[in-house]
Amino acid sequence: MTATRSFIRPNILDLTPYRPGKPIEEVQREYGIQDVVKMASNENPLGPSPKAVAAMEEAVRQVGLYPDGNCFYLKEDLARYWKVSAEEIILGNGSDEIIHYLGVAFMNPGEEVILADPTFVRYESAAILNNCACIKVPLKNHTYDLAAMADRITDRTKMIFIANPNNPTGTMVTRQEVDALMNRVPEGVLTVFDEAYYEYVESPAYPDTLNLVREGRDVIVLRTFSKIYALAGLRIGYGIARPEIIHYLNQVREPFNVSLVAQAAARASLRDPGQVARSRKANAEGKRFLCQGFEAIGLEYAPSEANFIWVNTGKDSREVFEALIHRGVIVRTGDIFGWPTYIRVTMGTPDENRRFIEALRSVLGQ
């Protein structure tokens, strides 16, 4: 151990491995409960499009071959879908991988990366990995404070990460707030709009950040097939930015980073708008149901534009988590995000949502 420590890069010691939501199988094994629902990882309970499933079954027969490393047809489809050019698109093994590539391609040691706190942890990992300083700006009312983030820009700033909606709070920043920020971001600072939950947003005030790409700004917009398209297990996401930014990301990209099956499933998913519409509707209904449940119990929650809700249980979230698990419901505790009485719960099916609210009521002694 000591010997290894002496030859590892010192900044790697500061990295915390990602802690995923507890898998269903683990809860079944550890707690001896068979009927378990997972509302911990912001997955889509309706599952993928039947068209995507059929495309995957077909693609499986071809996995003796390497995938198209350039994702040619998928890029063409996405370019048509978003009215951008194929040169403005990069595919990743999840949008996670693109966050990693952003760090490898653009961050120099000693530069600064501006992040919110709390937010998606992978931004901080990219900064630490590349010896950059993390400038953490607290949320205001559980929402990104873009004005305070702009105040922290210096001549050492390399990147600004904005999860919109934010994970774990589900809150959104508006077009107006983004415009005000972008008026203050100088050239040479890359602003990353991570829009993993884009398709769930209901608010008309949500910004159209692809316009910033079209204007040639130093921005990248990240989207994913993991959330509304329900392909989290396949690992496929993408980034849209001007061609020069994409070019440099491609310099550090693994040659076959997106599997043949994932490319086929993503293409078929784009051809099934019905799956997105159904999922959006189910999510909106689930959100209303859960919010009403929280209000009936008297719990404060953050207004969500995503497929999960950040709610204050008023108790130690680890105890609430344990008690919920004994009732077969897995959620995420807020302590890992620095908010020890909060939990993050993902919208489930109507049955799962009912089961969660009943379990929460009983856990909180109501």
Ligand X SMILES: Cc1ncc(COP(=O)(O)O)c(C=O)c1O
* Number of residues in contact with ligand X under rule CB under 6 A: 13
Between 223 and 355, whose beta carbon lies closer to ligand X?
A: 223
Of 258, 252, 253, the closest CA to residue 235 belongs to 258
Q: In this chain, which of 96, 199, 218, 352 binds ligand X, going by CB under 6 A? A: 96
Cα–Cα distance for residue pair 62/56, rounded to 1 Å: 10
> Smaller CB distance to ligand X: residue 209 or 363?
209
- Interface residue with ligand X, options 125, 143, 171, 224 (CB under 6 A): 224
Could you say whether residue 302 binds ligand X (CB under 6 A)?
no
Taking contact as CB under 6 A, which single stretch among the options 201-209, 224-232, 249-257, 274-282 is the one that binds ligand X? Answer: 224-232
Confirm or reject binding of residue 94 to ligand X (CB under 6 A): yes
Site string for ligand X, 34-63 (x = CB under 6 A): --------x---------------------
Tokens (6 digits) for 16? 């915390």
Which residue has the CB atom at the shortest distance from ligand X? 94
Per-residue contact string for residues 231-270; x = within reach of ligand X by CB under 6 A: -x----x---------------------------------
Sole binder of ligand X in the list 38, 84, 89, 95 (CB under 6 A)? 95
Cβ at position 163, least distance to ligand X in Å: 4
Kindly identify the residues of this chain, within the stretch 151-190, that bind ligand X according to CB under 6 A. Answer: 163, 167
Question: Distance (Å, rounded) from C-alpha 298 to C-alpha 264?
Answer: 46
Q: Is 334 in the site for ligand X (CB under 6 A)?
A: no
**Which residues in this chain contact ligand X in the complex, by CB under 6 A?**
42, 94-96, 120, 163, 167, 194, 196, 224, 226, 232, 237
